[in-house]
Amino acid sequence: HSFIDDKFIQKEAKYISTELEDFIPSNEIILVKKTNPVSNIQKNRISLKLSLNKNSMEIDETVQLRLDDEKSKESFGNQSVQDTVVREKYILSKNFPKLRLIPYTGQLKNKTYVLLEGTNESDEDGFFILDQHAASERINKEKFLNAYETSQFSLQKLISPLKIGVSPSEKIFIEDNLNEIKKLGFKFEHFGGNTFILRGIPTIMGKIPDINIIKEVISDITNIGKDKSFSEIKEEIINYLACHKSIRGGDELTLKDIRKIIIELGKCKNPYHCAHGRPTLRFFSFKELDKLFKRIV
Amino acid sequence: HSFIDDKFIQKEAKYISTELEDFIPSNEIILVKKTNPVSNIQKNRISLKLSLNKNSMEIDETVQLRLDDEKSKESFGNQSVQDTVVREKYILSKNFPKLRLIPYTGQLKNKTYVLLEGTNESDEDGFFILDQHAASERINKEKFLNAYETSQFSLQKLISPLKIGVSPSEKIFIEDNLNEIKKLGFKFEHFGGNTFILRGIPTIMGKIPDINIIKEVISDITNIGKDKSFSEIKEEIINYLACHKSIRGGDELTLKDIRKIIIELGKCKNPYHCAHGRPTLRFFSFKELDKLFKRIV
């Protein structure tokens, strides 16, 4: 059993009784806003003690349920607001998970994973979970690798060249690989001693790079490179740059961002793993879900 | 390993190489409509051969990507249409899953499962998968059980009472349990021999029940009951009625339907299993996802 299966087996054990005699109606329902949950729970606990027979009527009068799909299609100008309200509010009930509709984009609330649906390469239908950072890193890795291999890595000249002091071993690495490093978009000139002048950086580092970020990147790259040959570490440096430039877990994505990730990931030679080997995309077929829900054995 | 893990281990084996030398750029991207995919693939294959450097510009000119989140917030009247288009279209790329955004409601395309997010009883964040039929059956089971226990099962009189012929053993069961069966909402009168007059049926069977459905239900219930005591089979009959009346896999759900299911399921004493013991809700914590994506070990 996987950790997921074990979890559910434990959970089910708690709820496995379906004995008739166990049944006690639990009529209390609580609706709260995402913000300030405590005061709302208390307020709603008073006003929303529902009897079993009057549920649908009274529930429809709450903010959470006043949104009617048909109505909101008619009075459409208001939908965005209503939609936001519905998705940001949890529906709470005693001893039950706080549940809410997934957001408009499918990006889950930790802003790390995106839910999608579709059909896999074996023509099975199901849903997918995308790790936004892993996917972005893979996309950037293949872009950078391609740019490097075809010598099309864009280099932008620094208006104020930077003096960079390096360690003796880093100095040897940079001197030995000036042209290779230039193919990555970094243009160094030896200044004397253990000092280099940095005249260009990769375009992918951004239009107006922060000087501290540049120094950090140079330091990290020379650290990766020291005491090793360039061919040994060029992929590692590209991975580093790809990771550095990627969308991170916690970044909020728009629909457009998500579509762009899907499209670019689909073009990758190895779309299923990030630069460091982590998965980018996980698939759960409907058949697997049918097993998980015991619809089929 | 679970079936899900095994699946991904197999998959990963295919893509595990991250060797630099393996990299060949794959620039082709294909966008198709859900309908008539073949002609669209061909059309788009010609117009959308993108070079790596011009991706973002050219992709933005396709129908799929012309939707800009910011723009659509401004010109809002059009969003519903755009949203539908975006969600119903797959983004296709060679040797890559067909992916699309999950629908507005979170109901997956087999119309059997609904994706939700939230926090479980142990205060862990994550997402949930709801089996719409299992949930609906559980809700109905507890409603019907409560109605039965409190003798509040609504009975509606049939304008044209039905003659029902039963088998000898079914006759004994019905005669012996006329009052118990009436508590379920079925009003029988013995007509003579093996024939009964059905004068009332449960309200939950619908306002204008089809005569064939009534006959089927009666036949099923007496079959459940024959040769057994009523106390042995009352839960089974309630399960049968609950299942019969429930939302099914394949039924399209609105936002309102989904909210209603969540609210009513949350009130159930045993919300995690359908009348027959299948799960209603599955939880995947972000921590579990972090493991699945190897963000944590």
- Please compute the mean of the pLDDT values over residues B101-130 and round it to a whole number: 94
Q: Is the pLDDT of residue A16 over 70?
A: no
What distance in Å separates the CA atoms of residue B287 and residue A112, rounded to the nearest whole number? 11
Least confident of A148-152, A153-157, B60-64, B126-130: B60-64
Residues of chain A neighbouring B138 (CB-CB closer than 8 A): none
- Would you place residue B266 in the very low, low, confident or very high pLDDT band (cuts 50, 70, 90)? very high
Mean pLDDT, chain A, integer: 74
Domains of chain A: 3-101 (no CATH), 105-113+130-279 (3.30.1370.100)
Q: Is the pLDDT of residue A204 over 80?
A: no
- Coil, strand, or helix at residue A228? coil
Looking at per-residue confidence, does B115 or B241 come out higher? B115
What distance in Å separates the CA atoms of residue B150 and residue B152, rounded to the nearest whole number? 5
Percent of chain B scored above 90 by pLDDT? Answer: 31
Percent of chain A scored above 70 by pLDDT? Answer: 69
Least confident of A92-101, A267-276, A287-296, B34-43: B34-43
pLDDT at A176 (0 to 100): 87
pLDDT at B149 (0 to 100): 85
Closest CB to B96 among A15, A18, A266: A266
Closest chain B residue by Cα to residue A276: B18
- Please compute the mean of the pLDDT values over residues A234-253 and round it to a whole number: 89
What distance in Å separates the CA atoms of residue A31 and residue A62, rounded to the nearest whole number? 8
Q: Is the pLDDT of residue B274 over 90?
A: yes
Residues of chain A neighbouring B13 (CB-CB closer than 8 A): none
What distance in Å separates the CA atoms of residue B235 and residue B141, rounded to the nearest whole number? 9
- For B72, the token pair is 């659509």
DSSP string, A65-76: HH--HHHHHHSG
What distance in Å separates the CA atoms of residue B260 and residue B248, rounded to the nearest whole number? 15
pLDDT at B241 (0 to 100): 86
Amino acid at B68: D
Q: Is the pLDDT of residue B237 over 90?
A: no
Interface test with B, best of A256, A260, A268, A273 (most B CBs within 10 A): A256
> Is the Cβ–Cβ distance between B178 and B205 less than 8 Å?
no
pLDDT at B123 (0 to 100): 93
Mean pLDDT, chain B, integer: 74
Task: Please state, in angstroms and as integers, the Cα–Cα distance from residue A117 to each residue in A5, A35, A130, A256, A262, following that order.
Answer: 22, 30, 10, 16, 12
Looking at per-residue confidence, does B251 or A4 come out higher? B251
Residue B253 near chain A (CB below 8 Å): no
Residue B264 near chain A (CB below 8 Å): yes
pLDDT at A27 (0 to 100): 35
- CA geometry: angle A220, A130, A107, nearest 5 deg: 100
Least confident of A201-210, A255-264, B231-240, B252-261: A201-210
> Is the Cβ–Cβ distance between B110 and B254 less than 8 Å?
no
Backbone angles phi, psi at B284, to 5 degrees: -125, 110
Closest CB to A142 among B8, B23, B93: B23
Looking at per-residue confidence, does B214 or B65 come out higher? B214
What distance in Å separates the CA atoms of residue A19 and residue A26, rounded to the nearest whole number? 16
Q: Is the pLDDT of residue B63 over 60?
A: no
- For A169, the token pair is 């071993």
- Coil, strand, or helix at residue B293? coil
Task: Please state, in angstroms and as integers, the Cα–Cα distance from residue A60 to each residue in A92, A153, B92, B97, B266, following that order.
Answer: 15, 59, 41, 40, 16
Closest chain B residue by Cα to residue A285: B4
Residue A278 near chain B (CB below 8 Å): yes
What distance in Å separates the CA atoms of residue A270 and residue A142, rounded to the nearest whole number? 9
Q: Is the pLDDT of residue A28 over 70?
A: no
- Please compute the mean of the pLDDT values over residues B65-76 and round it to a whole number: 39
DSSP string, B164-232: EE--HHHHHHHHHTHHHHHHTT-EEEEEETTEEEEEEEEGGG-SS--HHHHHHHHHHHHHHHTTS-HHH
What distance in Å separates the CA atoms of residue B240 and residue B67, rounded to the nearest whole number? 47
